[in-house]
Amino acid sequence: MIDPVMMNESSSSSSSSSNCSHLFVRHGICFACKKKVSCVHGREFGYLFSGLRLSHEAVSFTKHLTTLVSVYGRKKLHLVLDLDHTLIHSMKTSNLSKAEKYLIKEEKSGSRKDLRKYNNRLVKFRPFVEEFLKEANKLFTMTAYTKGGSTYGQAVVRMIDPNKIYFGDRIITRKESPDLKTLDLVLADERGIVIVDNTPNVWPHHKRNLLEITSYFYFKNDGKNMMRSRLSYAERKSDESRTKRALVNLLKFLKEVHNGFFTCGLEEELDFKDVRYLIKGPLKPHGC
């Protein structure tokens, strides 16, 4: 990911305060002219750098430049990943069914690599999540996007990516996006972004970029789970089967999308490339 602050300093170092466009502002101070700015028409990107705000012009330019660097420099597309019911399932310990209480002891003992504790919640990793992130990282620059709170989202991502290898600081939460989800907050061109989410209706303006994945329910008493009459995976002491694991099938499809995008080579202009045609075209994920 391009550092927008450094880019602004290098591209606008000669700007004077009288003609400065205030492209990049942090904590109310323009990085180019070093003056205090009362109002900037644009968006906040505090999840990347505290207090960072980009003008509309800077957002557009940075999205395009970031994509150029990723595609031509690293041969990477961008992948936006939901957390809850996509990569993990979490549940308050007080809501665990009687048959699931054994998980509290297993988490405390450290015998389960796929189980973590966050405050009063148990967080269960979806099967294959570690392998998925490792392989997807070779092909995509990844961003986590959750409707959960900031503290919760940060904590969950640090569980599955403790060394910031996959997501870095690219974690968008309810703090930055209180209503619907939007690619306006992702600094990359939409033509090179794939979204993976189990809830498509939170992406009303970017459905062409969206791959819907089946919801992951490990615990029983989830208000969104319509199968509560059945035993949960936790109660059965089982999990998604290897042949039907959604992340396995998703990774296979994402590799096909990546390959399809770069099939013609980088000599083809980026303006004629669009990952959305591959997502909705002849390639289709199976079992996701």
Lowest average pLDDT, out of 53-67, 84-98, 217-231, goes to 217-231
Residue ranges covered by each domain of the chain: 4-74, 77-280
User: How distant is the alpha carbon of residue 84 from its chain centre?
Assistant: 11
In this prediction the pTM is 0.87
Q: How confident is the model at residue 265 (pLDDT cuts 50, 70, 90)?
A: low
Strand 140-145 to strand 171-172: parallel, antiparallel, or no bridges (unpaired)?
Answer: parallel
pLDDT of residue 129: 96
pLDDT of residue 229: 66
Lowest average pLDDT, out of 23-27, 201-205, 248-252, goes to 23-27
How confident is the model over 28-44, as a mean pLDDT? 83
Average pLDDT, the chain: 87
CATH number of the domain at 77-280, please?
3.40.50.1000
How confident is the model over 225-243, as a mean pLDDT? 82
Q: How confident is the model at residue 263 (pLDDT cuts 50, 70, 90)?
A: confident
Residue-wise pLDDT tens digits, 114-131: 999 999 999 999 999 999
Question: Residue 208's CB: how many other CB atoms inside 10 A?
Answer: 15
pLDDT of residue 160: 97
Any residues with CB less than 8 A from the CB of 174 and at least 6 apart, and which?
A: 146, 147, 148, 149, 150, 153
Q: Decide if pLDDT at 222 tops 90.
A: no
Task: Please say whether the beta carbons of 202 and 179 come within 8 A.
Answer: no
